[in-house]
Amino acid sequence: MIAAARDAGLTIAVAESCTGGLVATLLTEVPGASHVFLGGIVAYADEIKRDLLGVPAATLATHGAVSAQVADAMASGVRKRFGVDIAVSITGIAGPEGGSDEKPVGLVWFAVADAAGTDIVSHTFGGDRHDIRASAARTAIDMLYRRIITDIKQ
C-alpha cells in the first residue's frame, strides 16, 4: 500500500480512537512510509475529537462518539488538518466494558475520505479487546489500500 501511494504521489493521515495508534504503527513499520504518511491523531477523548478534528459537539451529543457521523467528521477533519489526499478514521468500542444493546462491544465505525468523497462502514468484531483493536486496524489499512487503488485508476 505504501508503495502504491508513493507511486501515485498520494499522502495519507489517520484519526484513531479505539485503535489508539495501531494504524499509524502498521503504516510506519513499512519502509518508505515517510514519503506518504504525514501523521495522525489519536483522539480517544471527545474533547480531542472536537478540538483537534473538528467533530461538532452537537454530532457527538446526538449520535455518540461511536457512530457513522463521528467517523465521517474525524476523517474529514484529519484530512483537512494534515492537508493530505486520503484519510481514514476509526472509532469504536473495544471493550470489555462500554457496550450496549444498541452499540455492542466490538462495534467499530470507519471512514475513508478523499477529494471524491467519503465511504463509511461499520463492522462488529468478536474476541477480546486486543482482537477487536487488531481487526479494526487491519480493516482500516485495507480501506486505505482500496481507496488508493481506486484513486490510481481514476
Q: What is the tens place of the pLDDT at every residue in 73-85?
A: 999 999 999 999 9
pLDDT in tens, 21-59: 999 999 999 999 999 999 999 999 999 999 999 999 999
Q: Please spell the DSSP secondary structure of 48-66, one letter per residue.
A: HHHHHH---HHHHHHH-SS
The closest of 48, 110, 109, 57 to 81, measured between CA atoms, is 48
Report all structural domains of the chain as residue ranges with CATH numbers, in order of start.
Answer: 2-153 (3.90.950.20)
Q: What is the pLDDT of residues 107-143, one digit of tens each?
A: 999 999 999 999 999 999 999 999 999 999 999 999 9
User: What is the value of pTM for the model shown?
Assistant: 0.97
